Chains A and B, each alone.
Chain A
């Protein structure tokens, strides 16, 4: 029935609907041979050869190389951001010491405003200008390249003056330490978003031990395998369904496609986070976990406690609670939630569908908070799991298909209004991807971790190096022959 899907160009999934697809800029990505076999060894080698007091400086230099790799001129923007925030923090601190609370608040405010202005200008200007153009207000569209990871590091630096103001952290020892914090390459471009107060002490003092390095090796290899072996493989299936013209989508095909996207995004994103945590540990850093089996969630509320934890926690601490949190009357609570979820949505990319996706969660969370969670508690657990998976997968359709008419067709197909239930193409792809989808589905649950803990200490000691080596070898094979290795975070 449906004619075959054309295999798409190798690029990220966030590209439907006439937006620039393959960017000119190629940032340095962890899952590339030159990063793994040249950049990372060089960092580790020089980091450990350098005396302790120069290690942050070594890191800063490598961070800037990493950051500038894709778009060298933006190193200047980065340096500007670092210097601006560094001195904003100093002023906040001085004002507070002098008892000048108003001055401190002003400094915090100016710093936040400048950061948000930079973020707005580079990330959202074209969206707003383009939208205004369409309703007849002339605004120039600039087509600027988005500085890589700007959403992540802007959020990270914004915590610094606030944490200083709140007295949650000490001032950085010097500009180098602060610059290293802002640009720290493991989590610079895809998170986790680390608050200044979580890292301030580690910038000044870290322990380096073989145990910590080895633990980092394990976490890093798990992340690499998640990204290269699971996310990249499954992502190809999603790209096929993304490229299928809406009118040809079958119901089962649409669900297979969105299942593939759900697994791809989770393993890509959490794989990146694991690699970040792992590389951090190799250099003595401890970052907080970013994911906690999100697809086990039994509600939208729970999903967001398990998905991209560092982002949720950022919004809670620096937006939701300052707005009054949940200790307010119901209408104000709804308003607070609305603001937080609108911001969360649009943070994910400069396109209105991300706003819709955020508001979708706003509605679900309000619905759950005032009514449905009480119902869910009385129902058996599997109903909650089913509900959780269903809302999250429908949400991903809003997230992944940017073009509104294509999104409409995709949702219609998911709900039985497509080109029939299934076609030969669906059966072919199901047959081909079933093994990897099953592996990924199991890997999205704590089952393997549970079994692992049942192994004896001795067998674990044998298994760890064997598994790490197997993971590295297989990932290398998939990278060297890797025609499909998308970087999903261009929009962040």
Chain B
């Protein structure tokens, strides 16, 4: 290289390093990443303690990575590069063979016996019938869209093993065949869709002996720009957004159904579908308004009694259907609610209990032990 070329290369290199370095220092920091749906690390000024302990250095590293200029673009570039290299996964997400479906990798729990034993203890603790169902992972229902031989998937063994571990006081509801079709899961998110939840409702209601009124008409399209959490992890910019639907009319079939949310322990009036959440990245929180410790849906015109659902987020999309069958549906989230279940069931006059988790949440949730209290 000649002198001119050397100066040019030196300038190019310095411009790249100094340019992004300066942009990092000068551009305002972002608090939240819409694309990744998470809060980003913030600048934490060093203190004598954090310098000596090294805590400052660790938080600084995260801060630089999170606030790096054009972060979203870099993430997409990497995902594209991995795809062009022939990879069928990125950041723990499989690229489906149709090019448009994303699968979060699924790891079966290694302590399944322990986990199911908590459900069994609940069954022994209470006098009302306890039903237990796991929602199969998307990778089980849509196995044909997975990359060939993909190792970290739900092969149905979690459901089988769980069923075998269920005690006498617990009635297992098998959902392994309940879900079918192209639109039962979001392609970009791990949750089931309104359609999927409706299929789940039919199987659950049948097993629990509830009548099954049908919602009027067809599902209503309310959003066509939903990018779910799996899409966020994958950085897969080439995948189209999902559509979102509502189905059960607000107020239920007779217009007399009420939703009471307890986001902070205090009752607040809620709705089946909180359309204002569609403005956010986390559009799935449209269903019942997102995570909360307790939510009670009352339908005076329903035929069956009081159902308690030990829930994860999949239940939010299902609850409007359940409320067509039950006079009261109580959605109880162990992550945010420390009330004794046994006591709650007695006080509220609950008739039936449904423990309903997705396989992946059941495999990872750390609050299951509360089932037995």
Binding site for B on A (CB under 8 A): 3-7, 24-26, 28, 32-34, 36-38, 40-41, 44-45, 69-73, 209-211, 213-215, 217-218, 221, 424-425, 427-429, 431-432, 434-436, 460-461, 464-465, 468-469, 472-474, 476-483
Q: State in angstroms the CA–CA spacing of A116 and B84 once bound together.
A: 50
Cα-based distance from A463 to B68 in the complex (angstroms): 28
- Residues of B contacting A483 in the complex (Cβ-Cβ under 8 angstroms): 91
A460 to B92, CA, bound (A): 39
- Residues of chain B lying within 8 A (CB to CB) of residue A477: 74-75, 77-78, 81
Interface centre among A3, A72, A424, A480 (most CB of B within 10 A): A480
Given A464-B1, A480-B74, A25–B151 Cβ distance below 8 Å?
no
Closest A residue to B5 by CB, please name it: A461
> Are B81 and A33 in contact, with the CB atoms below 8 A?
no
**Closest residue of chain A to B106, judged by CB?**
A4
Chain B, Cβ-Cβ closest to A36: B17
Question: Which 7 A-B pairs rank lowest in CB-CB distance, beginning with the nearest?
Answer: A4-B151, A214-B6, A424-B149, A428-B149, A480-B74, A37-B21, A210-B6
At the interface, yes or no: B20 with Cβ under 8 Å from chain A? yes
Name the distance in Å between B110's Cβ and chain A's nearest Cβ: 8
A32 lies within 8 A of B61 (CB): yes
Residues on B with beta carbons closer than 8 Å to the beta carbon of A24: 54
A-B contact pairs, 12 of them (CB 8 A): A4-B107, A7-B107, A38-B25, A211-B3, A213-B6, A214-B5, A431-B88, A431-B149, A469-B12, A478-B78, A481-B78, A481-B235
Q: How far is the CA of A335 from the CA of B68 in the complex (A)?
A: 55
User: What secondary structure prevails in chain B residues at the interface with A?
Assistant: helix
Which parts of B1-50 form the interface with A (CB within 8 Å)? 1-3, 5-10, 12-14, 16-18, 20-21, 24-25
Contact of B6 with A468 in the complex, beta carbons under 8 Å: no
Pair A480/B3 contact, Cβ less than 8 Å: no
Question: Which listed residue, A33, A211, A214, A469, touches B64 by the CB 8 Å rule?
Answer: A33
Q: Is the CB–CB distance between B86 and A72 below 8 Å? A: no
With both beta carbons as reference points, the residue of chain B lying nearest to A27 in the complex is identified as B57
- Does B206 reach chain A (CB closer than 8 Å)? no
Which interface residue of B21, B75, B81, B89 has the most chain A CB atoms within 10 A?
A: B21
Contact of B16 with A472 in the complex, beta carbons under 8 Å? yes
Least CB distance, A369 to chain B, in whole angstroms: 43
C-alpha gap A41/B24 in the complex (Å): 13
Q: Is B338 an interface residue (CB 8 A)?
A: no
Distance between Cα atoms of A438 and B267 in the complex (Å): 61
Q: Please give the distance in Å from B275's CB to the nearest CB on chain A.
A: 33
In the complex, whether B280 has a CB less than 8 A from a CB of chain A is no
- Rounded to whole angstroms, the CA-CA distance of A473 and B74 in the bound complex is 9
Q: When the two chains form their complex, are residues A424 and B151 in contact, meaning their CB atoms are under 8 A apart?
A: yes
Of A41, A461, A465, the contact of B21 (CB 8 Å cutoff): A41
Among A34, A209, A427, A474, residue most surrounded by chain B Cβ atoms (within 10 Å): A34
Cβ–Cβ contact B13 & A217, under 8 A: yes
Task: Give complex CA distance A69, B52 in Å.
Answer: 10
- Residues of B with C-beta under 8 A to A476: 20, 74
Q: Least Cβ distance of A82 to chain B in Å?
A: 21
Whether the Cβ atoms of B57 and A480 lie closer than 8 Å is no
Chain A min CB distance to B151 (Å)? 4
Distance of A106 from chain B, by nearest CB (Å): 38
B57 touches A70 (CB 8 A): yes
Q: Please give, as numbers and ranges, the residues of chain A lying within 8 Å of B64 by CB-CB distance.
A: 32-34, 37-38
Given the complex, which residues of A lie within 8 Å of B89, measured CB to CB? 432
Q: A26-B61, A44-B14, A476-B74 are in contact. Are A468 and B151 (CB under 8 A)?
A: no
Least CB distance from A186 to B in Å reads 15
Closest approach, in angstroms, between the C-beta of B169 and any C-beta of chain A?
31
Known: A33-B68, A474-B81, A480-B65. A213 touches B10 (CB 8 A): yes
Do residues B147 and A428 form an inter-chain contact, with CB atoms below 8 A? yes
Question: Can you name 11 extra interface pairs (CB under 8 A) apart from A217-B9, A428-B148?
Answer: A5-B151, A7-B105, A34-B61, A37-B17, A211-B3, A214-B5, A215-B1, A432-B88, A436-B85, A468-B13, A476-B74
* Pair B57/A41 contact, Cβ less than 8 Å: no
Kindly identify which residue among B18, B81, B151 contacts A41, using a CB–CB cutoff of 8 Å: B18
Closest CB of chain A to B364's CB: distance in Å? 12
Residues of B with C-beta under 8 A to A480: 65, 68, 71, 74-75, 78
A-chain residues with CB within 8 Å of residue B18 when the two chains form the complex: 41, 45
Q: Which one of A44, A431, A477 has the greatest number of beta carbons of chain B within 10 Å? A: A477
Minimal Cβ-Cβ distance residue in B for A439: B85
State the CA gap A424–B17 with chains docked (Å): 43
Contacts of A4 in B (CB 8 A): 107, 151-153
Contacts of A481 in B (CB 8 A): 74-75, 78-79, 91, 235
Nearest A-chain residue to B67, judged by Cβ: A33
- Listed residue (A3, A427, A468) with the most chain B CB atoms within 10 angstroms of its CB: A3
Instruction: Decide yes or no: A26 and B1 within 8 Å by CB, A38-B24, A41-B17 being known contacts.
Output: no
Decide if B52 touches A72 in the complex (CB within 8 Å). Answer: yes
Q: Which residue of B lies closest to A211 (CB)?
A: B6
Which residues does chain A contribute within 8 Å of B2, judged by CB atoms? 461
Q: Mark B107-143, 1 if CB is under 8 A from A, else 0.
A: 1100000000000000000000000000000000000
Residue of A nearest to B64 (CB): A34
Whether B342 sits at the interface, judged by CB under 8 Å, is: no
Docked-complex contact A71 and B75, CB < 8 angstroms: no
Smallest Cβ-Cβ distance to B88: which chain A residue: A432
Kindly report which residue of chain B lies nearest to residue A217, judged by CB atoms.
B13
Contact partners of B7 in chain A: CB under 8 A: 210, 214
Cβ of B150 within 8 Å of any chain A Cβ, yes or no, is yes
Chain B residues near A434: list those with CB within 8 A. Answer: 86
Question: Within residues 58 to 78 of chain B, which ones have a CB less than 8 A from any CB in chain A?
Answer: 58, 60-61, 64-65, 68, 71, 74-75, 77-78
| Interface membership of B51, Cβ < 8 A | yes
Given the known interface contacts A5-B151, A38-B64, the answer about A468 and B12 at a Cβ–Cβ threshold of 8 Å is yes
With most chain B CB atoms within 10 A of its CB, the pick from A221, A432, A469, A473 is A432
State the Cβ distance, B313 to closest chain A Cβ, in Å: 23
Known: A37-B64, A432-B87. A25 touches B54 (CB 8 A): yes
Q: Kindly provide the distance from the CB of A361 to the nearest chain B CB, expressed in whole angstroms.
A: 34
Contacts of B87 in A (CB 8 A): 432
What A residues does B77 contact at CB under 8 A?
A: 473-474, 477
List the B side residues contacting A72 at CB < 8 Å. 51-52, 54
Q: Could you say which residues of chain B place their CB within 8 Å of the CB of A218?
A: 9
* Nearest chain A CB to B356 CB, angstrom units: 26
> Which residues of A have CB within 8 Å of B75?
477, 480-481
Answer whether A7 and B152 are a contact pair too, CB < 8 Å, given A477-B77, A477-B78, A481-B75: yes
Interface string of B190-211 (1 = CB under 8 A from A): 0000000000000000000000
Report A-chain residues with C-beta under 8 Å of the C-beta of B12.
Answer: 465, 468-469
